[in-house]
Structure 1
Amino acid sequence: MQRSRLPILVPPMLLLAAAALSTSAWAADYQPTVLVRFSGSAAAPAGASPITPPLLSADGKLYGVTQTGMPALGAYGQLPQGTAYTLDPATALYSAVALGDFGRNYGNLVQRSDGLIYGRTSASMFNASSYSSTLTGVPALLRIDKGVPTPIAPRGADQVPFYTTSFLPGGSAAIDANGVIYFSGGSSSLWRMNADESVQQLVNFRLPAYLKVVPNGTRSTTYYTKGDGSVIASVWSTTDQALYGITSTTSGVAGDPDLVPSGDKPAGTLFRIRAADIKTDGASTVEVLHTFASVRDGQPFTGDTNQTGLLEDGDWLYGTSFYHGLGTTGQMIDGGSVWRMRKSDPSTFQTVHHFRSDAATDGTADGDGSSPFGPLVKAADGNIYGTTARDGRVMNTKTAAAAKAAIGAGALFRIKVGSAADRADDVVEVLYRFDPARDGARPVGLTAGPIKNNVQKLYGATRYGGGDGNTYDGSDTIPGYGTVYSVDVSVPAATVSSLTASASSVTTGDRVTLSWTSTNASVCRASGAWTGSKAVTGSEEVTPLAGNNVYTLQCETAQGEQSATRSVTVKATTAVSSNTGSSYNTGDLKDEGGGGGGPMSELLLAVLLALSVFHRWRA
């Protein structure tokens, strides 16, 4: 099928138009600014139903993909077709291109240092004739160059394309400093894409050595101790030179059953693969750091509708689970959780918050978020932000079995990172609840944006809503095609709290001690009578020159936001000489002090001698 290359341009005012609806005072500071309201079709602004937030590129533009919005693919129209979109936040100019035979992207986009952006899918029509069945789609990779998408056939290290039902790329992707991309291949496998766009399998989570068979009456259950299903979240740690990731399925066999409480089920694993232990035959060494218990920890689950968060913050990992375990009949229990773990000590794994409890500002469980969805981000204010796909303001009223399920449009939450060494004082807060019509519904995570004037932009997307009249119908369904939005986060400004001198007036040559303190700064710089980079807090001895010496200090945040300057003046005065006169007694040639020595004294002596001789001659 021929792919459209003609971008659809939308005037800025059309994108920024939004209904002026009231919002509660506590949420006003975090109310999203809608940048795009998807049309649901090829009409501007083209696209519908994004499942990941846009990627902020090095060129300052936002790049993203939608799941639908273009004519479906396949003989029966069975495969949805989405768009690749570009949004310039500075001008609000939006353009979109149909994904064509690629269909739709699964999971997040990642960008290499050369500017190329990559995605993946398990269900395309690209080179479908090479595949044994096209009803469910063909695996393919995606390259986006300056907004233009191009499908890529999977190729091994020998550069020969391959097609197999066991390669189903999706899930979460991570990228290292060399541009190597790590991603789920489905079917309990982990793969990587190399710089030449070839792919290699790194892990087969179902190797015989990883299996544990447990008798169950007349039958037995096979557990996959390293994990199973898809790699649903991953992050590359440059510091550790290791990949951290999460596996999960709802089968109850993803993990070692001996590592979860009795009666609970293993729901997935948190693992680490060090760079030195990577192999390209599927047998890389996998170190399990934690086995999730479905009820105790929550269910980290993904798919085209669910995305799990994983974030590295120094020596800590933070993540989410989408559900709060499985019910007796196998149904997902509403809620989900936020957890953290120190990378160097897996025993520190701790649930920070179970959603549908008490994180809402109004203190009610029904107002809490539910089902955390998508990437977490660390903002410049030092806190971690995320979104939940639902909240408890609205409950399902159409299905008796789901009557206690939260179906509110979703929430923005913050993890206030604590100051304790073990971070036991972390606090989760719900900051804002989405309005289906005004903001969109079912937010899909966040991307950190730039900082200007001590305000950082966070960018996100919603999967549904965003249109006039979009509201609840009593079930989990919300009409509308989704939005792209931004949220402002105030970043503490750098300040020079104090700058003092040990003396304001000195004699030239005397030394003076300057002392200073600052807040929210990463570096300070001196100017005026002193120069150079300075510590954020400190003291330094200086020697003022004659006159007024103005010492100025300015500090800045780690993001380069500068503080106001602060100055202190020290006046240095030259000491006055004490002159006691000179003797003109020609019989006494010794120095009498008071500055009488030197060449001028010798000349005066010669004149006096000449006068003496002249007077004697006349006599």
Structure 2
Amino acid sequence: MNSIPPALRRVARRAVPALALAALGLPLTPATAQTAAFKPTVLHKFGGQDKGGGKPMVPPMLGGDGRLHGHTLIGGTAAAGSFWGQAAQYDLNAVTGDYRHQLLSGIASATTPLVPTPQGGFLVAGKGIDPVDPGYWGTVPVVFNMASGSAAWLQSPKIQPFGSMALDGAGNLYMGSGESASACNKSTTANTLWRMNADQSYSKVVDFCQYQEVQGSKRLHPKGGAPVASVWSSKDQALYVLTGVSADGVVDSALTTDNQGRSMGTLVKISQAAINTGVAQNGTLDAGQVELLHTFMRARDGEPTAKGARIVGMIEAGDWLYGTTQFNAPSAGSDMDLRYGGTIWRVKKSDPSSFAVVHYFRGATTASLDGTAQADGSAPTGPLVLAADGNIYGTTARDGSTMSVPKTGPATPVGAGTLFRIKLGSAADRADDRYEVLHRFDLGTEGGMPAGLSLGAVAGGVQKIYGAAASGGDGQVVSSAVLDSSGNGTVFSFDVPLPLATFNAALSSSVATAAVGSTIHLSWATSQASSCTASGSWSGAQQTSGSKLPVVLAKAGENTYSLTCRSANDGQPVTSTVTVQGTAVTQPGTGGDSDSGGGGPLSAWLLAPLAALVWTRRRRASSH
């Protein structure tokens, strides 16, 4: 940049389109192609303060009543001059396209994603008036009651939950509190994994401060610090917890060039038995019962964090966990530097050594560390979803299609964000996973800074996925000045096409022609089919695959066998047909009927040659 004339440098400090970067002497690689099928449909544009609220920081979630539920950072009404958040409900009428927005209750600074409850409600943590201590404005969970269309505050300890929460099969909600490992010396609630029990009482599960190691002026945290994301695995009967560390952390002398060898977080596993022990002992748990799966280094792996209301994602996909980090600045410090893009990572739950980074988002250069094009996403934000097509979807808060270029140092991506997909591989080590940019958001028409996704219903061969954008939506043009502050955001959806039922092997018969009453054998094979039904010359429910199924040929002439299979994803059914020709069988006759078939008496004209042959042989024998 030093060789660029001052006038151009002043222009470069403003947001510039990606294609203009080449003229400024910056590297430029071709933009990643977008997929038109994944263009979002905007369901609602927020009006802002006193106009229905705005700036949703988490995606809405579909309830059993067919309505979306969510919350915003800015409220629909003013309260004592402050900006309240708002619990909201969106009534989606697919027939009329009416997406009505109904305010439910005020929430101050609620940022955790919603967690559905078995009773049909939702849990979310936010600041509000403690019902026991009205003078306290702290963080307490709130439950959305869909039946009454209202929100009710629940009593809680004076804690500050961050990031994603998890609900186990017994209705217990797990949440983390605190964000700074240095708070271990100042607070009895920070860096603790809490459980709101099914009866709405609270228990400490793990106090991560108990594992702190003090070495001179350093405070090391081998098990991690503040829980920022949790996933309950019903299969493993265990809780997986992603933690962030912003103090000295775990020092690795072999990696002193990476954030001075200090880690930025951990991934741990806590079994159901260990959870029970921790609850019984008020958060005191033997270190061996907190299984360390991975320690995150900032430049190598990225940084798990929930700072600034930015939420990292973590999701279970079979035997694997996938997650995101937001920032991977190569130098020391705890600032969330938006010049650096973060990562997507994976690990096999039973094999911590399998940990790998699936994708590096844009780094300090204009291209991501894995060579992805200039318009790659940056700062992955919000919950991930595992869709019915078997792939993982997520969003980034920014992208590199537009850049803010300073006088010195790396450029900052200020594009409105991306929708991305991880196509899960089939290899044993998942090395064939593939990252794709599906869509780059338009700030003015679709909103910007998307905040993660939630799953919708499967119908008609597609699955609907919902999301929210925290800014834009009112015609804004991207620039570094407006991305964070202009516009009040949107609620959007997009459709994921799902595999339809197909015949891998068409319906076939063992023979093309057979006698009536004889047995033929039918075979077929399908994929993505939920059920199959026979019609024509046979009937009834059939398996989705069959091999040499015996069927009795019913009639002479053409016998048509059809099999219709419904799609597992509610898509169009598929049909396969085979025809077998039936031939008539002549029944045996009686007496001397000349039309008799085999097995009846032989006629005289057939016996005459035989008698002559016998007479000849006897004559020859007598002559000898």
**1:115 aligned to 98, 106, 120, which one?**
120
Matching of residue 558 in structure 1 with residue 568 in structure 2: yes
CA contact (8 A) 1:260 1:292 kept: no
- Which residue, out of 34, 47, 51, partners 2:53? 47
Partner of 1:569: 579
Residue 119 of structure 1 deviates from its aligned partner by 1.1
Q: How far apart, in 1, do the equivalents of 2:440 and 2:303 lie?
A: 23
1:59 Cα shift? 2.3
TM (norm. structure 1) is 0.80
Letter in 2 for 1:303: K
Task: Assess if the C-alpha contact under 8 Å between 1:442 and 1:463 holds in 2.
Answer: yes
| 1:71 positional shift | 4.2
* Deviation of the 1:129 alpha carbon: 4.4
1:386 aligns with 2:362: no
Mapping of 1:369-448 within 5 angstroms? 369-397=377-405, 400=407, 404-448=411-455
After TM superposition, the structure 1 = structure 2 runs for residues 225-240 of structure 1, keeping only pairs within 5 Å, are 225-229=222-226, 231-240=227-236
Q: Pairwise mapping of residues 192-591 of structure 1 onto structure 2 (< 5 A)?
A: 192-207=195-210, 210-214=211-215, 219-229=216-226, 231-253=227-249, 256-258=250-252, 261-262=255-256, 263-279=260-276, 280=279, 281-284=282-285, 285-328=289-332, 330-331=334-335, 332=337, 334-356=340-362, 365-397=373-405, 400=407, 404-474=411-481, 477-497=484-504, 498-521=506-529, 523-528=531-536, 529-536=538-545, 538-547=547-556, 548-579=558-589, 581-582=591-592
Shift of 1:372: 0.4
For structure 1, which segment, 420-429 or 511-520, has the greater mean C-alpha deviation from structure 2 after superposition?
511-520
In the alignment, the residues of structure 1 paired with residue 463 and residue 531 of structure 2 have an alpha-carbon distance, to the nearest angstrom, of 20
Range that drifts further, 544-553 or 277-286: 544-553
Task: Determine which of 25, 34, 40 is the counterpart of 1:32.
Answer: 40
Separation in 2, partners of 1:347, 1:459: 34
Identity %: 38
Tell me the SS of whatever aligns to 1:276: helix
1:154-169 matches, within 5 Å, as 154=155, 163-164=157-158, 167-169=159-161
Shift of 1:298: 0.4
Are the equivalent residues in 1 in contact too, given 2:533–2:539 (CA < 8 A)?
Answer: no
Change (3 A) 1:168 1:473: closer
* Aligned mates of 2:483, 2:34 — CA distance in 1: 26
Q: Which residue of 2 aligns with 1:106?
A: 111
> How far apart are the structure 2 equivalents of 1:250 and 1:502?
70
Conserved? CA contact 1:510–1:544, under 8 Å: yes
In structure 1, distance between residues paired with 2:123 and 2:376: 35
Shift of residue 278 of structure 1? 1.3
Query: Where does residue 88 of structure 2 map in the other structure?
Result: 84
Q: 1:64, 1:85 within 8 Å by CA — same for their partners in 2?
A: yes
Deviations 1:568-588 (A, max 9, x none): 2334445212425259xxxxx
Q: For 2:244 and 2:86, how far apart are their aligned partners in 1?
A: 26
SS of 2:261's partner is coil
Deviation, structure 1 residue 96: 2.4
Structure 1 residue 235: deviation in Å? 1.4
Q: Tell whether the 8 Å contact from 2:303 to 2:342 is kept in structure 1 after alignment.
A: yes
1:593–1:195 distance in 2 versus 1, CA, 3 Å: same
Deviation at 1:173, TM superposition (A): 1.1
Q: For the residues of structure 2 that align with 1:421 and 1:527, how far apart are their CA atoms? A: 41
Distance 1:87 1:120 in 2: 23
Q: CA deviation at 1:84?
A: 2.2
Report the AA paired with residue 211 of structure 1.
Q
Equivalent of residue 59 in structure 1, options 65, 68, 73? 65
Which AA in structure 2 matches 1:576?
A: T
Distance 1:150 1:260 in 2: 51
In the alignment, is the contact (CA less than 8 A) between 2:67 and 2:91 conserved in 1? yes
Q: Which runs of 5+ in 2 are unaligned?
A: 1-30, 179-189, 602-624
- SS state of the match for residue 193, structure 2? strand
Whether the aligned pair in 2 keeps the contact of 1:441 and 1:478 (CA below 8 Å) is no
**2:325, 2:546 → 1: CA distance?**
41
Change (3 A) 1:129 1:453: closer
1:514 touches 1:542 (CA, 8 Å); kept in 2?
A: yes
- RCO comparison, higher one (Cα < 8 Å, 6+): 2
SS of the residue corresponding to residue 70 of structure 1 reads coil
Hey, what's the Cα distance between the residues in 2 that align with 1:527 and 1:408? 55
Instruction: Give the drift of 1:168.
Output: 1.6
Task: Point out the more displaced range, 548-557 or 478-487.
Answer: 548-557
**Distance in structure 2 (CA, Å) of the matches to 1:375 and 1:238:** 19
Q: What TM-score do you get using the length of structure 2 for normalisation? A: 0.79
Native 8 Å contact 1:472 1:478 kept in 2: no
Residue 433 of structure 1 aligns with an amino acid whose one-letter code is R
**Structure 1 residues 570, 29: CA separation in 2 closer, same or farther (over 3 Å shift)?**
same
Q: Deviations over 1:459-480 (max 9, x none)?
A: 1100000002353245753410
AA matched with 1:321: T
Partner of 1:139: 139
Name the CA shift for 1:327/1:594 in 2 (closer, same or farther; >3 Å): same
Task: State how far apart, in whole Å, the 1-side matches of 2:464 and 2:479 are.
Answer: 29
Structure 1 residues 401 and 109: alpha-carbon distance in aligned structure 2, compared to 1, 3 A threshold: farther
Deviations 1:180-201 (A, max 9, x none): 2222233111122222222222
Determine whether 1:125 maps to 2:133. no
* Residue 508 of structure 1: how far off its partner (Å): 3.1
- Contact 1:554 1:566 (C-alpha < 8 Å) held by counterparts: yes
Counterpart Cα distance in 2 of 1:330 and 1:266: 11
| In structure 2, C-alpha distance between the alignment counterparts of 1:502 and 1:259, rounded to whole Å | 70
Matched letter for residue 484 of structure 2: T
Aligned amino acid, residue 295 of structure 1:
A
More deviation in 51-60 or 342-351? 51-60
**Within 2, Cα distance between the matches of 1:298 and 1:183?**
22
| Residues 498-538 of structure 1 deviation map (CA, whole Å, 9 limit, x = unaligned) | 11111122113432221212233355444451433414464
In the alignment of these two chains, the number of paired residues is 536
Q: Is the 8 A contact 1:457 1:487 kept in 2?
A: yes
* 1:546 positional shift: 3.0
One-letter amino acid of the structure 2 residue matched with residue 327 of structure 1: S
Aligned residue type for 2:589: N
Deviations 1:274-332 (A, max 9, x none): 11221312135322211111111001111353110111111111100001135245543
CA shift in 2, pair 1:65/1:330, >3 Å: closer
SS state at 1:82 partner: strand
